[in-house]
């Protein structure tokens, strides 16, 4: 029996350097705040040109795992910002032709458990931030109002203190924001219904009432589904990143 093997994939040298550095960052050999050696020293250790090291560092910097400290030429290990990670996921979802229905169904699955976790884990600072956000729910500008609607879910996620949940729903919130703006602009009662639901959810979160927080969040998400219909938004249409 003959066995066939696929050709080995060629990887540029800078990608190999980047992968080696990322491995050390991922296994916590290098931690957030640690400084890397100078480019010249890294080039010596890897046995490559300095330009190769510079390209590898640039790639990791764009990924958010390295940053240059102000006033220093040395790179420092950092944690990727949630928004930066979500931007990449949002673009990938849009390029894979996800629909508004896909995004809405994703939020239907994610947001009620997030509200539950927020009711269990919220702190005083979280409640203050959510209250400030709810206070902006009746803005006349539809773009600002749509941003507020997404921010409410965002801050609710932060109150859960679960990094997985926070990161999981952020790309969906970014993709949903334009549709929220359209709903608020086209549906006369949208602002009032959103404000009412937000107040009910935050009251349950403040009281630590886990079932009520989930229940009101489920109602809130279902109400957006009705808003899509009233605004004439086709749920099968593709989202835009």
Tracing tokens 């970014």 back to the chain, one arrives at: 174
Q: Buried (b) or exposed (e) across 74-85, using 16+ Cβ within 10 A?
A: ebebbeeebeeb
pLDDT tens-place string over residues 169-209:
999 998 888 888 889 889 989 999 999 999 999 999 999 99
pLDDT at 1: 52
Domain with CATH 1.20.120.530 in the chain: 82-230
The torsion angles phi and psi of 210, rounded to 5 degrees, stand at: -60, -50
pLDDT tens-place string over residues 139-159:
899 999 999 999 999 999 999
Cα distance between residue 100 and residue 175, in whole Å? 8
Cα distance between residue 235 and residue 241, in whole Å? 16
Q: How confident is the model at residue 105 (pLDDT cuts 50, 70, 90)?
A: very high
pLDDT at 170: 92
Query: What dotted CATH number matches 13-77?
Result: 1.10.10.10
Domain with CATH 1.10.10.10 in the chain: 13-77
Contacts of residue 68, defined as CB under 8 A and 6 or more positions apart, other chains included, come to 61, 74, 75, 76
| 111's tokens | 């947001």
Helix, strand, coil percentages for the chain (3-state, nearest 5): 70, 5, 30
pLDDT at 84: 76
**Above pLDDT 90, what percent of the chain?**
63
Maximum distance among all alpha carbons in the chain? 73
pLDDT tens-place string over residues 12-25:
899 999 999 999 99
Q: Which of 104, 88, 110, 107 is nearest to 241 (CA)?
A: 88
Greater confidence (113 vs 87) lies with: 113
Contacts of residue 3, defined as CB under 8 A and 6 or more positions apart, other chains included, come to none
Query: What dotted CATH number matches 82-230?
Result: 1.20.120.530
pLDDT at 9: 67
């Amino acid at each position: 029996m003959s066995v066939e093997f696929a050709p080995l994939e060629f990887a540029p040298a800078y990608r190999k350097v980047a992968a080696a550095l990322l491995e050390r960052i991922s296994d916590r050999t290098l931690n957030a705040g640690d400084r890397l050696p100078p480019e010249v020293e890294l080039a010596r250790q890897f046995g490559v040109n300095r330009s190769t090291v510079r390209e590898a560092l640039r790639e990791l910097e764009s990924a958010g795992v390295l940053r240059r400290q102000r006033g220093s030429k040395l790179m420092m290990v950092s944690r990727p910002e949630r928004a930066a990670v979500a931007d990449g996921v949002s673009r990938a979802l849009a390029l894979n032709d996800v629909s508004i229905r896909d995004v809405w169904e994703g939020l239907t699955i994610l947001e009620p458990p997030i509200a539950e976790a927020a009711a269990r884990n919220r702190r005083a600072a979280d409640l203050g931030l959510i209250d400030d956000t709810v206070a902006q729910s009746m803005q006349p500008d539809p773009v600002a109002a749509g941003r507020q609607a997404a921010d409410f879910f965002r801050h609710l996620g932060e109150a859960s203190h679960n990094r997985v949940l926070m990161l999981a729903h952020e790309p969906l919130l970014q993709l949903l924001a334009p549709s929220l703006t359209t709903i608020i602009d086209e549906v006369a009662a949208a602002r009032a219904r959103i404000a009412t639901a937000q107040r009910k959810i935050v009251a349950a979160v403040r009281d630590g009432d886990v079932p009520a927080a989930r229940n009101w969040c489920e109602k809130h998400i279902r109400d957006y589904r009705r808003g899509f219909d009233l605004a004439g938004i086709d749920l099968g249409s593709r989202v835009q990143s």
